[in-house]
Amino acid sequence: MRVVYKYIKANTKWLPYFVILAGIVLRINVFTDNRSLILDEANLALNIHSKGYLSLLSALDYEQFAPPGYLWLLKGSTTFFGYSEYGFRIVALLAGIVSLLLLYHSNRVFAANTVAWYSLALFAAGDIFLYYGTAVKQYSTDILITIALIIAGLCADVINPSSPKRFYLGWMLAGFSIYFSMPAVFILAGIGLSFIYTIWCSKNYSRLWPLLGICGVWLGMFGAYYFLMLNAQIHSPYLQDFHQRFFSILVPLSKDDWLHNGNLWGDLLLQLGGNTTLAIVFHLTLLATGTIYLLYKHTSKGIVLLLPILLLHIASGLQMYTLLPRVSLFIMPVALIIMTAGLSTLWQLKYKTIRIALLAIMLVSVYNAAYVRYFSQPLLHEEFKDGMRLVQKNGINGKHFHVNGLIENVFMYYTNIHPNKDEWASLKDAHIAPIWGNYDSLAQTFTRDAVIYAWYPDDLLKRDNDAYTKYCKVDTNYIHGIKLYICTKK
């Protein structure tokens, strides 16, 4: 047993560096797969293409919502790199890579390398982190700003800063993070309360007033952002309707209320570290242990990490923020850091058999949760480009090509904006098939026509398919989330 323990101690200290390297390579692999934009990405791309920097400060078209700082980053990257998938996604890629490095540093606040690698591995190779770490959405930058603020909050010396003026100025400027990441307000709230708690406990009350001033500046920045931009977005009928089932119950009173909240938070946990029973029990244990450790041993640091989770629940309960996993992605690295604190606590128990058991569970959980297949296989999702290429391969031109109305903007991006738009010039005059149109009448006009879909409600898809098969011989093709019907008149 002692030999095994010495081997573990000698070799696990290098694991974080290996994990970081693997995570960077995975992200670059997924980035270079150059998968097609999906609807939400295309909607944002159309906004970036059509609007200038000042226009991006106002409401976006196509029911899109993103902070202005992130939009400016996208505008800058596409101005420099062009309007290709790479130009739009490089911001997310760089944010994901830097986040890997910062998460390691935040883990090291609580743990040695022998255990700091574990939550880092979940982040490095988790499916949701890889996908949104290379997507045209703000979720990757949300993670980056969250971890950066947490590191600054955990390491700040609020009692005796080396340069008080720079300390206060720096933290006032941190308020601008709200304009680059909407959930930054949750993290800043945790940091602010942590600072106030630390000052209060030290009885160094002279430091309290400058900190309250900083919090006031943050509140003013958030207030301006809320009333000028967020208020209309939060109360958008589309947003409220789409996310209704992802809002938590603020004060659960019934069994159904508790089940609803449990399902929402449980889904976040599954996305974070896998859906095996072993992983679920292990991660819940780590979260509970980490929470107790932080509250009793490092209360100020615990406030930094735990208050954002509580505020997220409150905001969701007030229907002001959704617990849809991709939108709440920013809270997952917070949970990972808490898990690291809990794992470090368990690792420090004086029984070597416990450490060996913990290592075994860690290795099995990472093996089950890591998407290492993306080292050799592409991450593909709704490959619209492949669908159009198949249409062209079948000799069908735009006059006989029908694009489902739900993905009209994806078609618009590839035929009007993409640098290689000439590749699909023969399809540019395709028909946009209305979602609620008369597909029976449409199918009667087909000779040899193609109809393309991405995600679509099952009942509507069945309605359309029934219409096609009624009048045509139908060849159905499934292409990584894309459905392509090639209909030849009977």
pTM of the model: 0.93
Average the pLDDT over 197-223 and give the result: 88
Judge residue 5's burial from the number of C-beta atoms within 10 Å of its C-beta, 0-12 exposed, 13-18 middle, 19 or more buried.
middle
Which amino acid, residue 286?
L
Q: How confident is the model at residue 10 (pLDDT cuts 50, 70, 90)?
A: low
Each residue of 457-472: pLDDT tens digit?
888 999 999 999 999 9
Question: To which residue do tokens 């009793």 refer?
Answer: 296
- Does the pLDDT at position 474 exceed 80? yes
Each residue of 72-115: pLDDT tens digit?
999 999 999 999 999 999 999 999 999 999 999 999 999 888 89
Out of 4-8, 275-279, 330-334, pick the least confident.
Answer: 4-8
**In what order do the strands lie in the sheet containing 401-404?**
431-433, 401-404, 448-453, 482-489, 472-479
d(CA 336, CA 21): 19
Average pLDDT over the chain, rounded to whole?
A: 91
| pLDDT given for residue 135 in this prediction | 96
For the packed helices 15-32 and 85-108, what is the interaxial angle rounded to 10 degrees?
170
Average the pLDDT over 268-273 and give the result: 94
| Residue burial 214-250, b: 16+ Cβ < 10 Å; e: rest | bbebbbebbeebbeebbeebbeeeebeeebeebbbbe
d(CA 178, CA 172): 12
Each residue of 120-133: pLDDT tens digit?
999 999 999 999 99
Judge residue 490's burial from the number of C-beta atoms within 10 Å of its C-beta, 0-12 exposed, 13-18 middle, 19 or more buried.
exposed
Q: How confident is the model at residue 6 (pLDDT cuts 50, 70, 90)?
A: low
- Does the pLDDT at position 116 exceed 80? yes
Each residue of 417-436: pLDDT tens digit?
999 999 999 999 999 998 88
| pLDDT given for residue 224 in this prediction | 86
| pLDDT given for residue 414 in this prediction | 97
- Is residue 411 within 8 Å of 45, Cβ to Cβ? no
Average the pLDDT over 42-71 and give the result: 92
Cα radius of gyration rounded to whole Å, the chain: 25
- Does the pLDDT at position 136 exceed 90? yes
Among candidates 8, 11, 273, which has minimal Cα distance to 121? 273
Which amino acid, residue 15?
L
| pLDDT given for residue 11 in this prediction | 59
| pLDDT given for residue 2 in this prediction | 55
Question: To which residue do tokens 């709200």 refer?
Answer: 178
| pLDDT given for residue 353 in this prediction | 86
Q: How confident is the model at residue 1 (pLDDT cuts 50, 70, 90)?
A: very low
d(CA 238, CA 227): 19
| pLDDT given for residue 4 in this prediction | 47
| Angle at CA of residue 235, ends 230 and 236, nearest 5° | 100
Return the structure tokens found at 375. 């080292």
